[in-house]
Structure 1
């Protein structure tokens, strides 16, 4: 069985499935109230870390163990090279939610929100974003969820970064930059840093450069924040 062979069998996400043999509350409600699955029904469950299990519903409890006969049926390898899109939240959060959904479908390892000097929106409902990731993962029949992060400053984000390939999309012409497709080095785990609607400040770009980021252009067209995120996600896959 492969990631796209789930077919018509009901498919759920339960990160602690091996320890609990229980669907999380939201997933249990969907199984029992929306899909109206009965005791004895066969389902598929992913832990979000690449493992797909078959299981059987033993009761319709929302609080107690409700599954049995758990069997590993498929393991999906980690996406390599890994991809992170780090992006400043937009004033209209719907745009970020849309980008997160599409990037999850395309394939991404990490999605980080970074509060910058020009960021207008500084509070984000991370639980809602988690639900969007889970929904997109299930809709596209993936077995790995996306790691979500939020950082209160650019320096906080830069200080924890481990990926070797580092690119910062920057609109102004203060710093020398290449087009991303020309600067891109295939085969590396990549982080793409996308700024807010008002762009990064000069000091922020200088700070990112000091952490090994390469200033890049995303082409001749000026892209909206969420469009830039989609663009780099697709380009990462094409060039790898």
Structure 2
């Protein structure tokens, strides 16, 4: 069954935007009575039938609806975006497929990417939502300075993954202790000692994701996957 994103769905009918209408009628060849799935990104999953096969404003009639409860464990990854944006796009796509509640983007001292536009990443997140059938679209936060982000964290459930020498606990051993976790992932040159010191001074615990030296986007995805495994 074909899936469409319907964030503003209200009532017994829904009209697809013009580009989606054209895709549904001209490309997918949907006709009257054909059924599709709609996801609103807020836990709503709908089955709908084509009521008006207009390629500019395809109208759908809702025939079935279920509400999917949020996951009981909240996973939040705060990551410094890579210079090559394709790698961040890959991370967002895979993280949504696995399941993540929030993704924040950090501007760190060693960050090579100083600006970030969310529009493309939001489209990728929606595409991944439709592909995977996830009912909840994660929150994507604008890029912000590391220090500013640190001012709003909850230390008890926040962890910083870094490569500096010192004692670090495996994320898998601590991530499942609370109702959720936030994992900080640094840029390609890692967090600076000063950034690590700031985090630790706030009560944030240093963690490791394993023995391998991971790329930024791989480390971020590993954090998402680890959070799922420990709660399985």
TM-score in same-fold range (> 0.5)? yes
For residues 118-152 of structure 1, the C-alpha deviation after alignment (integer angstroms, 9 at most, x for no partner) is 11112223111111111111111111111111232
1:74-89 equivalences in 2 (<5 Å): 74-89=66-81
Indicate yes or no: 2:54 matched with 1:60: yes
1:16-38 residue CA offsets vs partner (Å, 9 max, x unmatched)? 01168222344333313321223
Q: Number of aligned pairs?
A: 229
Gaps of 5+ in 2: none
- CA distance in 2: counterparts of 1:224 and 1:100, whole angstroms: 14
- The residue that corresponds to 2:28 in the other structure is 35
Corresponding residue for residue 48 of structure 1: 41
Q: Distance in 1 between matches of 2:224 and 2:78?
A: 11
Given candidates 210, 215, 223, the residue that maps to 1:232 is 223
1:193-232 matched pairs, under 5 angstroms: 193-232=184-223
Paired residues of 2:80 and 2:185 also in contact (CA < 8 A): yes
1:29, 1:149 → 2: CA distance? 31
Q: Which residue of 2 aligns with 1:129?
A: 121
Query: Over aligned residue pairs, what C-alpha RMSD do you find?
Result: 2.2
Give 1:85 shift: 1.3
1:218 Cα shift? 1.8
Unaligned runs of 5+ in 1: 1-8
- Give the Cα separation in 1 of the matches to 2:87 and 2:134: 23
Q: CA deviation at 1:68?
A: 4.4
> What's the CA shift string for 1:185-231, capped at 9, x where partnerless?
43421111100001111221222224432111222211111111121
Deviates more, 1:81-90 or 1:176-185: 176-185
